[in-house]
Each structure stands twice: as structure tokens, then as C-alpha cells.
Chains A and B, each alone.
Chain A
């Protein structure tokens, strides 16, 4: 029996889909059989981040409405052989999902896969509820800024209320991913630190991803950055993937490295 992990945030644009894509590849690379599902109905995006947009024939709604088999809709990543992808539907009606159909689909995926990774839509409407109600675990992505942390806190409060697991008296395991941290800004006191965010959200941390311009490039070409050897953000994603599987991995050292130029610049600040 697999685990359903929902990647969520509350606020949009904090990097949910990028996180989902990278962790999906990361977990698959670690030998897990992974299916990543885009639950953002009407605003499909995970397909382009994974670089699989040209291979879509059917989508998640087609499967639920039984217009096709599950195996027809699942797209197997060519590089990460253990990774399968189920795209969101592009219909305009975002409330098209029905609870019992979502349940049926997720339970059958749980039978077949080790990890079912759900990319939840932003907001706290029905799409979010569908992505959370069967979750075993939730990864809450937040950037270190006021709006994002506030919305993350709001979402954390709602997860248990909407969860099937919580209804049975069990707990949805919740972890925070802090995304787009800028170490120099934290050091100069202009950005919330990891400790600040954690003390506000009062949840355990599973990873910190530094702000990285290269991620834009990797999204441009549709190749998740996690496969890049020498990238710090890729390393962050690789470590998070391991932690998701329960491994105890050291956190990345994100203290700003000061070269000569930066030190001189620092004097004049």
C-alpha cells in the first residue's frame, strides 16, 4: 500500500508545482514507484515543468469519468523510469471533480504505486479539498515572506478539518518546505529566517530550497533541476526526497559564502 503525499501551500506562485516535479523525480530516482498528479483543474502546469506536455492524450478527469483506462492516461517519464504522470484536465469547470470518483482513483493508485504525489491547486476551495482529503502526508511549501507564511498557516489549520484520516482519529503527517530562501538577505536581516518561519508555523521542517535562478532555465526547457549535479537547489531537492523516505540527512549549509568582492561590498553597506 502506497502513501499519498499532497504538496500544498495556500498562496499561489510559491513553487508547489516545481517542488512536486522535483520531488517526484527525486523519489523515483531513489527507486520508489511514483505517480505525480496535477490537481489544478483548468490550470494545468506540472506537465510543462516535467517536460511531458507533448505526450498527453487523456487526463485525470477522463480517467474519473471512465472515458479511458488508468493505464492509457498515465505517462511514463522517459528519464525517470519509475515516474508516472497524470495531467490535470483543462476544462473550464474547475469543480468537475467529484469526491467519490477522486477517492476511487486515489485508492486504486495507492495499490499500484509506492508514492502518490498530489500537486494541489492554490487556494482553499474544492480543488484543494479533493487533494487533501485522502492524504497520508502533507508537504506545505512556503516562501519566507509575510503573505506566503500567513496563507500556509491558514492551510495547515484546514488540513485536519478536511482530512479523512483525521476523522478516523489519525494524524496527517505535516512538514514544511521553505522555498526560495535568500541567505544573504536573511543575514542582513531583510528576510524571515528558517527559524522565524518554523516558530510561526510550529511544524517540523523537511527542507530548505535556496533561491536559484537556474530553476527558471530548467522550467524553460522542461527538465527538473534535481538532475543537475552541481546545483545547490538540486541538492536540496535530493535531500528532501531522502527525508521523505525517512532517512536522516543533514540540512544544507546555506550560510552566505563571502568572496573577496562581497566582503568589500559589505564594508560599504
Chain B
């Protein structure tokens, strides 16, 4: 974006929108690539939980905090 565009607050260029969209998308996808077992883990968890109760989905999110890699597992139980 040129100096004048910034000065007059011109609409964001499409290239910068593209960059933002890609950055977000890839950040999300790379996480899954780093832990290739994530899908299998998710399916196994669903199987185990099914033994005890209804389960509609299991969401696994990864967090990297300084030196700690963390998995956050969210289990969505079916509606009663």
C-alpha cells in the first residue's frame, strides 16, 4: 500500500486481504500438519466416550505457550 493510500485511509488492497486470509488459514492448517495423529486421536476419543455417553463431537485445539505444547480437548455431549 502506498503512502498516500495510508494517508487518506483508502480501502485495504485486495492483496493485503489475500495475505491476511492466507495467514489465518495456514496458521490453522499447519497446526494439524504438525500433529498428524490429531484426526485419529479425535476418532479414538469419540469411540471411547461413546461407551459411556452420547457424544456429538470432539474438538481438539492446540496451544503453544512458551515451552509448553498443549492440547485442549472439548467434548460436546449430545443434547438431552
Selecting from A75-83, A98-106, A215-223, A230-238, the interface stretch reads: A215-223
User: Of A48, A92, A217, which one neighbours B14 at CB under 8 angstroms?
Assistant: A217
Q: What's the nearest-Cβ distance from chain A to residue B50, in Å?
A: 12
Is A92 touching B36 in the complex (CB atoms < 8 A)? Answer: yes
Q: Which of B6-56 contact A (CB under 8 A)?
A: 14-15, 17-18, 21-22, 24-25, 29, 32, 36, 39
Residues of A near B24 (CB, < 8 A) are: 54
A53-B25, A90-B32 as given contacts; A220 in contact with B39, CB under 8 Å: no
Is A221 touching B17 in the complex (CB atoms < 8 A)? Answer: yes
* A71: interface (CB < 8 Å): no
User: Of B15, B17, B21, B29, which one neighbours A90 at CB under 8 angstroms?
Assistant: B29
A107-B19 Cα distance, complex, nearest whole Å: 38
Residues of B near A219 (CB, < 8 A) are: 18
Q: What's the nearest-Cβ distance from chain B to residue A45, in Å?
A: 11
Is B25 touching A220 in the complex (CB atoms < 8 A)? Answer: no
* A147: interface (CB < 8 Å): no
User: Of B15, B25, B32, B39, which one neighbours A48 at CB under 8 angstroms?
Assistant: B25
Is B36 touching A53 in the complex (CB atoms < 8 A)? Answer: no
A90-B30 Cα distance, complex, nearest whole Å: 11
A48-B21, A91-B39 as given contacts; A220 in contact with B29, CB under 8 Å: no
A216-B17 Cα distance, complex, nearest whole Å: 12
Residues of A near B17 (CB, < 8 A) are: 220-221
Q: What's the nearest-Cβ distance from chain B to residue A224, in Å?
A: 13
A92-B33 Cα distance, complex, nearest whole Å: 9
A216-B18 Cα distance, complex, nearest whole Å: 10
Residues of A near B18 (CB, < 8 A) are: 219-221
A186-B18 Cα distance, complex, nearest whole Å: 31
Q: Which of A181-229 contact B (CB under 8 A)?
A: 216-222
Among B25, B29, B36, the one with the most A-chain Cβ atoms within 10 Å of its Cβ is B25
Is A220 touching B36 in the complex (CB atoms < 8 A)? Answer: no
Is A53 touching B32 in the complex (CB atoms < 8 A)? Answer: no
Q: Which residues of B contact A (CB under 8 A)?
A: 14-15, 17-18, 21-22, 24-25, 29, 32, 36, 39
Q: Which 6 A/B pairs are nearest by Cβ-Cβ distance?
A: A220-B18, A220-B14, A217-B14, A221-B17, A221-B14, A220-B17
Q: Which residues of A contact B (CB under 8 A)?
A: 48, 53-54, 90-92, 216-222
20 more contacts with CB within 8 A, not counting A48-B22, A90-B29, A220-B15, are A48-B21, A48-B25, A53-B21, A53-B25, A54-B24, A90-B32, A91-B39, A92-B36, A216-B14, A217-B15, A218-B14, A219-B18, A220-B17, A220-B18, A220-B21, A221-B14, A221-B17, A221-B18, A221-B21, A222-B21
- 25 A-B residue pairings within 8 Å (CB atoms): A48-B21, A48-B22, A48-B25, A53-B21, A53-B25, A54-B24, A90-B29, A90-B32, A91-B39, A92-B36, A216-B14, A217-B14, A217-B15, A218-B14, A219-B18, A220-B14, A220-B15, A220-B17, A220-B18, A220-B21, A221-B14, A221-B17, A221-B18, A221-B21, A222-B21
